[in-house]
Amino acid sequence: MNKLSTKKMLTVLISLAMVFSALAVISMAAQPAYATASGSITLNPTTFGESGGKPVATLVTANGGTFGSGSTVYFYLSKTASSSGITITGYTSYIGSVALPGGSTTLSNTVVTLFSSAAALTAGSYYILASDSSTPTAVGAQFTTAVPITVVSTQPSISITSSPPFTVGQQVSFSGSGWDSGASVSVYLNYAGGTVLTSFTATLTGAVPANEF
């Protein structure tokens, strides 16, 4: 084999090696990034308000958990203490997210807004889980231990439990909830300058005391 043929063969081999190297890089880049979330987190506060059938956007301080270095942490709402409850709530998208500083793998007094873009949700008990996967149903998605939270109504309500029509001097019963604990509540006739029918102090749970009329 002459020198010219040898040089051509070496050139071909080098070119093939470069092609395979490029394909390997592309293949590795195309691989899915698996979440590495683990451990437990704390949230403060753990009680959230609900108004008009939707949770109120709330600033939360988050700590703990272990995630991919410098990754974005996503928070999910779940009806159960596991990720399987995420789809039950209808909140398949995250309720908040925050990017960890470069090289950081944990939340450290990290402030994040939760429920800034919220769907319908009723008051009740739920859980929040954190993950570094932007899709909760993605293959390999992992989550931190669930944090129990409570969603409470921020809209006080009151209703007449007696049946109309009413006559002058008739006793009328009320019921209600969602008031501030110990708040002073007055009930008026529904017209301009209406007089006070009755007043009461809300219970510790924000409810109308029994037998108020």
Average pLDDT of adjacent 10-residue blocks, the chain of 213 residues: 52 48 41 70 92 88 97 96 89 93 96 88 92 93 96 77 75 76 76 72 76 57
**pLDDT at residue number 45:** 93
What token pair was written down for 65? 């958990």
Q: Where are the CATH 2.60.40 domain residues in the chain?
A: 38-153
**pLDDT at residue number 208:** 77
For residue 177, what are the β-bridge partners?
A: 157
Of the candidates 95, 34, 105, which has an alpha carbon nearest to the alpha carbon of residue 63?
105
Domain 38-153 matching CATH 2.60.40: the answer reads yes
**pLDDT at residue number 23:** 43
**pLDDT at residue number 69:** 95
pTM for the complete prediction?
Answer: 0.63
